[in-house]
Structure 1
Amino acid sequence: MTKLLFLLFSGVKLSKLLLSGGTMLLSVLLYATLYGWRYAVGFVAMIVIHELGHFFAARHRGLPAGLPMLIPFIGAWTSLEKMPHDAETEAFVGLGGPLLGAVAATGCYLMARSWNIDWLLAISYAGFFLNLFNLIPMLPFDGGRITAVLSPRIWFAGVPIMVGLFLYRPSPMLLLIALLAAPQLMKAWKYRADSEEAQTYYAVPARVKWEYAAYYLGLAAFLAMMAHDVHEMLGAARHLGGDA
């Protein structure tokens, strides 16, 4: 009986591993048809590393987490089998993704500059931009999970950012995100400092709130600076290539 249970458990774990790997492979194949295999591999790697940041952060806090799953052209997620028990834990898990993603993008950037490889530079830009985009202070973004440690009402700061992005570059994906965000914004609107939820889930010491605010702003500033600078480098590289 014990052996049977072990085999069943092993089979479940193997199926999850194969499913996760399959979504990664499918993503690489589809992105490769548009951008070439080198960029596709690097781009998917940036997404996976970001999700692994959430995975490791969750495991560090004792939360069972599933392997990353990807849906090409839609997004990726790391499922939690047990939800965080307080806002600080949720912020910690939320911060893990963009933090590890920023490290990966920086490593790719340094390699691109050292070896003078433009496609690596393009991958690093994708990494910087994707992680910056995920820091929008609104659920379902990671930024919403991080800033909720301050107050759920801070999610309204993400509204003008989303509106500006949509006006700049209209996208059905942004509309889908807006639909997902709407119930959370309603929750933030109803949030009260004297509610039971505020006294329990969101009861975080002021010192911890300031720490996460510093982490969030510092990481956002770094990613914004790097995304801007790398974008300029890529533009200059394309200009030189056109002149040649």
Structure 2
Amino acid sequence: MDEKRNTSRKKSPLAIGGFLAVVLSQGKLLLTALKFGKVGGAIISMFVTIWAYALLAPLPFVIGIVLLILIHELGHVLAARMKGLPVSAPVFIPFVGALIAMKKHPTNAATEAFIGIAGPIAGTLGGVAVFGLGMYFDSGVLLSVAYASFYLNLINLLPIHPLDGGRIATAVTRWLWLLGLIGGLVFIWYLDQPLNKLLFFVVWAMFAWDLYKKFVRFRHKEERVTVSTRFEHPANHLLGQSYVIPGENHMRELDFATYSDIQGAADGRQTIIMYWQGIGFEGHAYMPTQSLIRKVQVVKVDRLEKENGFFLGLQVQVEYSPLAAVNDSYYEVPTRTRWLFGTAYLALALFLLYMIRVVHQIGIA
């Protein structure tokens, strides 16, 4: 097996694109996929990603990579659900990868690291399985897919947010972020493709800005963030009371109350209940993370005439400070847990480096 293997012949991008266009043009197929709800979006984004990647690489190789990315993301999904955190199905983004949306964020670094490391572990196990199949069937395509999987999972272990390594570092030591800041620049310099350089530089710049906000800009003051939500409030009763209907530019602060549910090992999501007594409005909203609520304010009012009556469209803005920004207790992790995550992190990185070297010796890459 010293000779360099020949992967499958690259098919015409036009032919591949035409095939996928025919598939996606079938309305019944698309509607059937959408009926699966959360899974429908994942399936459609997978098809789009396969089509995009197939413009640059052989289709069998592309399908293998996308499936291994799916396995990686499912590792995150499983870990999040084990911690009682609801997440979306994976959504694929061509030339970027895939992601899951967390409907409730971790409340401590150990949980964040647990979810973060689950993806690379699942992706690595998937890569090992494909490597074994490639060796058994003497398949250059499968070995190439395994190599790419090992490489992508290793990159994901760089201690840079929002990569998985950056999340694992929260439970090991935040000094790893400094290593990631420096190592990220070295990695960008090493990349030879301009598009790859640009994409990774954007990730690195976002990470650098986040560190600046956490440890420089807001070191001695609380970070304040705003999030908006919208409500449609039935208002027929106001017309009968000769109530002065607020105009579009009407702004006012609202009274509010907030609470958090406790669900098993993970803290439940934080809920805000907001009130506008004059119009009989009571609205409920969920915070993206555990926070200190500073202000709840109506910033815009729309008058909506509908078939079933008159409504007020209320644009509400919530100003808050994330608890992680005002309280370092988020990063308090028992020493034993730090060592466990640190050991697993290092072992996984070394194993991936070893597997990449093995594939190199075989002559695939």
TM (norm. structure 2) is 0.58
- CA offsets, 1:130-152, max 9 Å, x none? 11000001111100100111233
Equivalent residue, structure 2, for 1:209: 338
Q: Which 5+ residue runs of structure 1 have no aligned equivalent?
A: 1-10, 239-244
Query: Are 1:37 and 2:55 an aligned pair?
Result: no
**Higher mean Cα deviation, 146-155 or 215-224?**
146-155
Report 1:1-244 matches (<5 A). Answer: 14-170=36-192, 171-187=197-213, 189-190=215-216, 197-198=327-328, 200-233=329-362, 236-237=363-364
SS in 1 for 2:172: coil
Query: Are the equivalent residues in 1 in contact too, given 2:69–2:98 (CA < 8 A)?
Result: yes
**Higher mean Cα deviation, 145-154 or 131-140?**
145-154
Using a 3 Å threshold, how does the CA distance of structure 1 residues 168 and 96 change in structure 2: closer, same or farther?
A: same
Rounded to whole Å, the distance in 2 between the matches of 1:56 and 1:99 is 12
- Alignment RMSD: 2.1
- CA offsets, 1:72-92, max 9 Å, x none? 112211111100011000000
Rounded to whole Å, the distance in 2 between the matches of 1:116 and 1:12 is 38
SS in 1 for 2:56: helix
SS in 2 for 1:54: helix
Rounded to whole Å, the distance in 2 between the matches of 1:83 and 1:216 is 22
Rounded to whole Å, the distance in 1 between the matches of 2:188 and 2:359 is 23
Q: Which amino acid aligns with 1:197?
A: N
Matched residue count: 223
Using a 3 Å threshold, how does the CA distance of structure 1 residues 228 and 164 change in structure 2: closer, same or farther?
A: farther
- CA offsets, 1:23-68, max 9 Å, x none? 0011112212321211111010111111111000000110001100
Q: Which amino acid aligns with 1:100?
A: A
Q: Which amino acid aligns with 2:354?
A: M
Q: CA deviation at 1:196?
A: 5.5
Using a 3 Å threshold, how does the CA distance of structure 1 residues 12 and 215 change in structure 2: closer, same or farther?
A: same
Query: Are the equivalent residues in 1 in contact too, given 2:34–2:40 (CA < 8 A)?
Result: no
Based on CA coordinates, which of the two structures has the bigger radius of gyration? 2
Using a 3 Å threshold, how does the CA distance of structure 1 residues 31 and 122 change in structure 2: closer, same or farther?
A: same
Q: Which amino acid aligns with 1:34?
A: L
Equivalent residue, structure 2, for 1:242: none
Rounded to whole Å, the distance in 2 between the matches of 1:119 and 1:87 is 39
Q: CA deviation at 1:222?
A: 0.3
Using a 3 Å threshold, how does the CA distance of structure 1 residues 152 and 30 change in structure 2: closer, same or farther?
A: same
Q: Which amino acid aligns with 1:62?
A: G
Query: Are the equivalent residues in 2 in contact too, given 1:155–1:188 (CA < 8 A)?
Result: no
SS in 1 for 2:92: strand
Query: Are the equivalent residues in 2 in contact too, given 1:153–1:189 (CA < 8 A)?
Result: no
Rounded to whole Å, the distance in 2 between the matches of 1:188 and 1:116 is 50
Rounded to whole Å, the distance in 2 between the matches of 1:231 and 1:160 is 27
Q: As a proportion of its length, which structure holds more helix? A: 1
SS in 1 for 2:116: helix
Query: Are the equivalent residues in 1 in contact too, given 2:72–2:119 (CA < 8 A)?
Result: yes
- CA offsets, 1:94-144, max 9 Å, x none? 011000001000000111111110010000011101110000011111001
Rounded to whole Å, the distance in 2 between the matches of 1:30 and 1:141 is 22
TM (norm. structure 1) is 0.85
Rounded to whole Å, the distance in 1 between the matches of 2:141 and 2:360 is 12
Query: Are the equivalent residues in 1 in contact too, given 2:113–2:168 (CA < 8 A)?
Result: yes
Query: Are the equivalent residues in 1 in contact too, given 2:48–2:94 (CA < 8 A)?
Result: yes
Q: Which 5+ residue runs of structure 2 have no aligned equivalent?
A: 1-32, 221-324
Q: As a proportion of its length, which structure holds more strand? A: 2
